[in-house]
Structure 1
Amino acid sequence: MFVDGSSNAEVRGAGFILTSPEGFKIQFTLRLSFLASNNEAEYEALIAGLRTARAIQVKRLAIRADSQLIVNQVNGDYEAKDDRMATYLKEAKKLVSSFETFEISRVPRRKNKKADVLSRLSKEELAQLDGSVYIKQLDAPADLVREVA
């Protein structure tokens, strides 16, 4: 699965492409209608992709992402220092544990172009899609596990 997120003044979005060993693809774009940093958009893509893979009963999952921060946090090489990022990381790790095998690795941006395009589609571009891409609007951040103190 390839994942990417994007946040700028014009568009906030996330995208992922889940491909089976036989070549069947699920392409998904998420429109984020809430304020999100680029890293939060990256996590939105990852979490949506993990949830989709789990829902269709994927057992072995390899993820490719171009976000050094997200890949290294999920792999345990970096800490999540901000509370919101820590919450995203906790949810990602919870989802990762549901797969028999899981790996996440960083790829150069040029090898993640399709997921990048999905994360950056404007409303006008989304309206022109032919149904081969699933589109979902998120009005709030992913429903994340929250600790109650």
Structure 2
Amino acid sequence: MKGRAPSDFIVKFTDFPEEVANAPIGKPWQVFVGGSSCRTKGGVGVHIIGDSRHEHHYMVKLTAKTTNNEAKYEALVAGLSIAEALGVTEVKVKVDSQVVVNQVLGVYKMKSKNLKKYLQLAWEKRDQFCHFSIEQIPRESNNITDKLA
């Protein structure tokens, strides 16, 4: 170290996904989302648990042909839109899709042009909340949304 400034030893890291996590002020509402698809249509299920443990259930039938990942993104966007309409400011999203979770967090790269539109919309919705987190849960922990979808 003799004759060298400490700044010579500092490594600069770049190109990491930037996810600024704001600690929740209160207890975030839990937003469970799920989507399903088949050859001709799909469905979306949203199960929201509020801070007072009050539960909200929503289902949306998709009339156009969708892929499974498109249905999962439709569910995510619907869940965030509903939470926003309910006046929620802090959400903890739970979804059973590893792909969706990691794409939203920037861990996985998005290759599909069609899904990029969904991801962009999900990020725009995410930015409306003071606190946002998303996590993958086992499919069996998401059975209410699966029944709704």
Instruction: Tell me the TM-score range normalised by the shorter chain.
Output: 0.7 to 0.9
Using the alignment, how far apart are the partners of 1:17 and 1:10 within structure 2? Answer: 24
Candidates 61, 68, 72, aligned match of 1:42: 72
Deviation for aligned residue 1:10: 6.6
Alignment-mate amino acid for residue 75 of structure 2? A
Question: Is 1:9 the equivalent of 2:39?
Answer: yes
Q: TM-score, normalised by structure 2?
A: 0.77
Gaps of 5+ in 1: 120-149
* One-letter code aligned to 1:23: R
**Larger-Rg structure:** 2
Q: Which amino acid aligns with 1:26?
A: H
1:56, distance to aligned residue in structure 2 (A)? 1.5
* Distance in structure 1 (CA, Å) of the matches to 2:75 and 2:34: 6
Residue 96 of structure 2: aligned partner: 66
d(CA) in 1 for partners of 2:51, 2:141: 18
RMSD value, Cα? 1.1
Deviations 1:28-78 (A, max 9, x none): 111011010000000111101101111121011001100111111111111
2:113 maps to which residue? 83
Instruction: Quote the sequence identity (%).
Output: 36
TM-score normalized by structure 1?
A: 0.77
